[in-house]
Amino acid sequence: MSVDVMTRPAVLILLGPPGAGKGTQARMLQDKFGLVQLSTGDLLRAAVAAGTPAGKQAKAVMDAGGLVSDDIVIAILNDRLAEEDCQNGVILDGFPRTTVQAKALDDLLASTGQRINAAISLKVDDGAMVERISGRSTCANCGEGYHDTFKPPLADGSCANCGGTELTRRADDRAETVASRLEAYHAQTAPLIAYYADAGVLTSVDAMAAIEQVANDMSKVVQSVIS
Ligand code: AMP
């Protein structure tokens, strides 16, 4: 079924190494533009927690900081994209991470008459990523992300968004695993910057700036491609 050009939902892709701020920015764009944030990392962590067959296969790879197989990730993303709320438009956070995934996404969108509105590359210095990642925590109740230095929770340690008192740290945010994740990014995901530049949809933002500044820059990009 083809989707009318005027009404087809927006598809945005966020590219950047672990720690670049993709999740933080995707949540802001979700709230501001009414799009749905789709994080394959979150979907995989949910599959691991639920003990599904895909989750069982993915767990060891995720713990080691490698990339889960394309087949598993593409299947999980396809299922999620088919859900009703995605008809408002999506922000892909952490997908695609390989050329095989990028081509699978192109094929899927072509089959529904959709296209990628923008791929936004978050430019950062690798050296700063370990510090950014090692200070991260997430509210177990609402999913809001925090950082010990750059975005601390309230003084009593609770979530400023929902008041939740349990903030968790990801198992793969340990310094040893972060090095593997950065390596996987450079070997398998960074080539997608050229892929989307060739497709004419790439924009870069300086993601070393303060969170609010990056959010402003990204909002301008999104505004220009979805209106
Ligand atoms: P993230 O939350 O995006 O940092 O992802 C956490 C982990 O989930 C990654 O280190 C990978 O092991 C796995 N993962 C998430 N998205 C993908 C993807 N698109 N392709 C392969 N593995 C992924």
> Rounded to an integer, what distance in angstroms lies between the CA atom of residue 177 and that of residue 175?
6
Both tokens of 2, joined, read: 């083809």
d(CA 184, CA 205): 21
CA dihedral 15, 16, 17, 19 (to 10 degrees): -120
Q: Which pTM was predicted?
A: 0.91
CB 16, CB 122: distance < 8 Å: yes
User: Two tokens at 91?
Assistant: 């922000």
Q: pLDDT for 37-69, tens place per residue?
A: 999 999 999 999 999 999 999 999 999 999 999
Mutate to test the pocket of ligand 1, among 24, 43, 62 (most ligand atoms within 8 A of CB): 62
Q: Is the pLDDT of residue 18 over 70?
A: yes
How much of the chain is helix, strand and coil, in % rounded to 5?
Answer: 50, 15, 35
pLDDT confidence band for 1 (50 / 70 / 90): very low
176 CB-near residues (< 8 Å, 6+ apart): none
Closest ligand 1 atom, residue 94 Cα: 3
Average pLDDT, the chain: 93
First-to-last C-alpha distance (Å) of the chain: 23
- Contact of 40 with 96, CB cutoff 8 Å: no
C-alpha span between 193 and 120 (Å, rounded): 9
pLDDT (tens digit, 9 = 90+) per residue, 73-119?
Answer: 999 999 999 999 998 899 999 999 999 999 999 999 999 889 999 99
Coil vs helix vs strand at 114 = coil
What residue's CA is closest to ligand 1, atom 12? 62
What pLDDT was estimated at residue 3? 44
* Cα(158)–Cα(111) distance, integer angstroms: 45
Cβ contacts of 208-212, under 8 Å, gap ≥ 24: 208/123, 208/124, 208/125, 208/128, 211/21, 211/24, 211/25, 211/150, 211/151
Q: Give the active site residues.
A: 22, 97, 136, 170, 181
> From ligand 1's centre to the CA of 202, what distance in Å?
21
* Long-range CB pairs of 151-160, under 8 A, 24+ apart, other chains included: 151/24, 151/211
